[in-house]
Amino acid sequence: MAKWTIEDAERLYRVKRWGGGYFEIGENGNLHVTPDPTNTDIRIDFKTVVEEIQQEGIQFPVVVRFHDILRSQVAQLNQTFRDAIKEAEYNGQYMGVYPIKVNQMREVVEEVVEAGEAFNYGLEAGSKAELLTVLSYNTNEESLTILNGYKDEEFMRLALLGRKLGRKIIVVVEKYSELIALVRISKELKIDPIIGLRSKMTVKGRGKWASSGGERAKFGLTIAEVINASNYLKEQGMLDCLKLLHFHIGSQITDIRSVKEAVSEGGRIYAELHRMGVGLEYIDVGGGLGIDYDGSQSTNDSSRNYSMQEYVADVVYGIKEVCDLEKVPHPNIVSESGRAITAHHSCVITPIVGEIRSSGSSLDSNKFETTEQENEHVLVKNMRSVSVQIDDPNENTQELFNDASQYKEQAVDAFKLRVVSLPELAKIETLYWDIMKKVQKRLRHVEFIPEELQELDYALSSQYLCNFSVFQSAADTWAIDQLLPIAPLTRMNEEPTVNCSLVDITCDSDGKIDQFIGDYGTTDFIPLHELKEDEDYYVGLFLTGAYQDVMGDMHNLFGRLNEVHIYSYDDDPEDFYIEEFVNGSSVNDVLSIMQYNPSLMAHNVKKLIDKRIASGDIKPREGVKWTDFYENCLDGYTYLKTPSKSNPQK
């Protein structure tokens, strides 16, 4: 057999294809990170990151944030728009905003604001709590603050407070009644608002979120309502407050044709409103800039068939073409690209803490004895005969598979009828799975595999037990079948020999990941490396910075993960340093959220222990230790404690 190479690993895990220039497999087989693709001198070996996390005594699982990747994405999006505007001789500016719903973590918002300062890059809010956040953090008076979502009067008063503070806060009207309330409140407070209208589009996006656009979209005004809103503002002497036209056709747009169609339709609406005397200054193309989760560069739900450069060019040139044709001014362009900004910077790292083998993959030391004995049932003899035949390369693989499958089915029925004993059934099952493994090996060397036999790889695959919760850290994989790229952090210069799915430590059967990047779409398992007794094995769930960081629940009371914030540093021997460690949820934290009183719980348990001490069932010294143990567990991390195999003291 040919020697396994890094190129083979790349074909399997597609790291370069989904890595966005930030991740790739190093020659040593470890995952490497280039936080700033414009500076390839800085290259971080992920294994050294894991080792430093261990040395610092930080418990896994952890979220690792590469803040330089976040900054790089902010700069890349803004610079790409600036370059396209210059090349197209476009007369407007790019005034992008980051929608904080994608990831509202303070550290993320602070980093985006700081990185976007030079570009006057703003923020978008879609709820009252988010508005309170952006009022505090978006202090650049030249940048925009876009307010989407349904609004009550308090929301609008907060927006007008922002106007009073000199901010360019644009209230986007989602339904007509909001406009009536906004006009009334602004006149009451004597503060001129900046108003945007969100138009429902006939164009629909493509992908999981296509329903965000179209005539049955949740948000936005019909064309008739847009015209009526303009007329109403004119009647109220406030037409000059209407500055922005907004549209949005969905998140993670997979097909660039949807972008082109939406820009064309939105541009025409803008042009017609301008002809009607509406002095619009901005056109907001919404979100939707996708990322390539599976590396296929296709219209799959987890991919996109375009680059950031192509997306930007189609937006800029598309609007310019319509405006030039209609002879109206070029508006400033706003986009709300959150997924593309945040996804790459964050990943979840979890150790594999065990293997759950399939029936056919039991450890040799745990196999059932199958040696021949007197008076065996004929079904045992028949299965043993197939197990001998399978070693003969001249025997027909399909025929032997069919025979073994039939004997196994007959054995199960016979056991239910008390014809076959439990030990005999165990022998038959053990022989059957041994046969299936040999069939699987045979199939690796044939060109055509019958459909029925294609299921063997999955049937014989293992489950690797990961110390994390799918519901907390990868909610979309469970809720909407979102595909996240997964790869080991080390040993990719070795051939992976274990086909497996990933299961978490919750007590829920849905706590699993069994959809992975495949050669032709998705596959039920991922090849990983055999676990070693004296070596830790870590896998990463990547591109989790958008939504996954903030959408998790507390199923089984597993809380937020510990976080490690990484900054690159060229003068450091490892090219990075841990800038900050943020504690994840303690048991105290999650219990308090669920309205328990941990102090009272500790008090109650102490009383129970004291009773046992008084009755002589527990010695006083032992009772003190049990009390301390219970209280320490309340203060501890909600996930499993998994000491390092290579450094047991950690």
Tell me the per-residue pLDDT of 539-562, one tens digit each, with 9 for 90 and over. Answer: 999 999 999 988 888 889 899 999
Query: Of the residues 435, 457, 479, which one is the last residue of a structural domain?
Result: 457
- Residue 454, CA distances (Å) to 55, 405, 458, 514, 523 in order: 44, 14, 8, 17, 12
φ, ψ of residue 173 in degrees (nearest 5): -80, 120
DSSP conformation class of 489: S
Residue 376's pLDDT is 87
Using only C-alpha atoms, what is the Rg of the chain?
30
Query: Is 31 among the domain residues?
Result: no
Give 451's pLDDT tier (boundaries 50, 70, 90): confident
> Which tokens in the block code for residue 263?
């820009």
Query: Is 101 among the domain residues?
Result: no
The enclosing domain of 373 has a CATH number of 1.20.58
Q: pLDDT tens-digit profile of 8-30?
A: 999 999 999 999 999 999 999 99
Query: Is 628 among the domain residues?
Result: yes
DSSP conformation class of 236: T
Give 364's pLDDT tier (boundaries 50, 70, 90): low
Residue-averaged pLDDT of the chain: 92
Give 50's pLDDT tier (boundaries 50, 70, 90): very high
Span 351-357, average pLDDT: 92
Q: pLDDT tens-digit profile of 126-148?
A: 999 999 999 999 999 999 999 99
User: Strand, coil or helix: what is 31?
Assistant: strand
Query: Is 535 among the domain residues?
Result: no
Q: What is the maximum span of the chain, computed from C-alpha positions, in angstroms?
A: 102
> Which tokens in the block code for residue 446?
């044939």
Query: Is 374 among the domain residues?
Result: yes
Closest CA to 230 of 311, 173, 292: 173
Residue 385's pLDDT is 94
Contact 526, 500 (CB under 8 A): yes
> Which tokens in the block code for residue 197?
């209208």
Residue 177's pLDDT is 94
Contact 310, 84 (CB under 8 A): no
Residue 201's pLDDT is 86
* Residue 52 neighbours by CB distance under 10 Å: 16
Closest CA to 289 of 337, 246, 321: 337
Give 208's pLDDT tier (boundaries 50, 70, 90): low
pLDDT at 211 over 80: no
pLDDT at 66 over 90: yes
pTM score: 0.90
- Residue 606, CA distances (Å) to 493, 586, 601, 610, 628 in order: 53, 20, 9, 6, 9
pLDDT at 164 over 60: yes
Q: pLDDT tens-digit profile of 627-645?
A: 999 999 999 999 998 888 7
Query: Of the residues 457, 489, 505, which one is the last residue of a structural domain?
Result: 457
Residue 65's pLDDT is 97
Residue with the larger pLDDT of the pair 448 and 507: 507
Percent of the chain at pLDDT above 90?
Answer: 81
> Which tokens in the block code for residue 77?
């999006």
Distance CA 50, CA 62 (A): 10
Distance CA 492, CA 13 (A): 9
Domain that includes residue 613, residue range: 588-635
Strand ranges for 68-209 from DSSP E = 97-99, 122-125, 144-147, 168-173, 194-198
Distance CA 575, CA 101 (A): 32
Residue 214's pLDDT is 56
Distance CA 272, CA 283 (A): 13
> Which tokens in the block code for residue 65?
């944030």
Residue 217's pLDDT is 63
Torsion of CA 229, 231, 235, 237, to 10 degrees: 70
Domains of the chain: total = 2
Query: Is 596 among the domain residues?
Result: yes
Closest CA to 281 of 354, 339, 330: 330
Closest CA to 421 of 465, 373, 473: 373
Contact 149, 127 (CB under 8 A): yes
Distance CA 44, CA 530 (A): 25
Could you please report the per-residue DSSP string of 491-558? Answer: -TTS---EEEEEE-SSS-TT-EE--EEETTEEES-EEEPPPBTTB--EEEE-S-TTTHHHH---GGG-
Task: Determine which helix (DSSP H) or strand (DSSP E) holds 488, and give its type and residue range.
Answer: strand 486-488
Contact 552, 464 (CB under 8 A): no
Distance CA 244, CA 278 (A): 10
pLDDT at 573 over 60: yes
pLDDT at 205 over 70: no
Residue 375's pLDDT is 87
Query: Of the residues 433, 457, 481, which one is the last residue of a structural domain?
Result: 457
DSSP conformation class of 373: -
Q: pLDDT tens-digit profile of 467-522?
A: 999 999 999 888 888 999 999 999 999 999 999 999 999 998 889 999 999 887 88
User: Strand, coil or helix: what is 118?
Assistant: helix
Residue 137's pLDDT is 95
Distance CA 54, CA 76 (A): 33
Residue 89's pLDDT is 97
Residue 207's pLDDT is 63
Query: Is 603 among the domain residues?
Result: yes
Span 280-299, average pLDDT: 95
Query: Is 219 among the domain residues?
Result: no
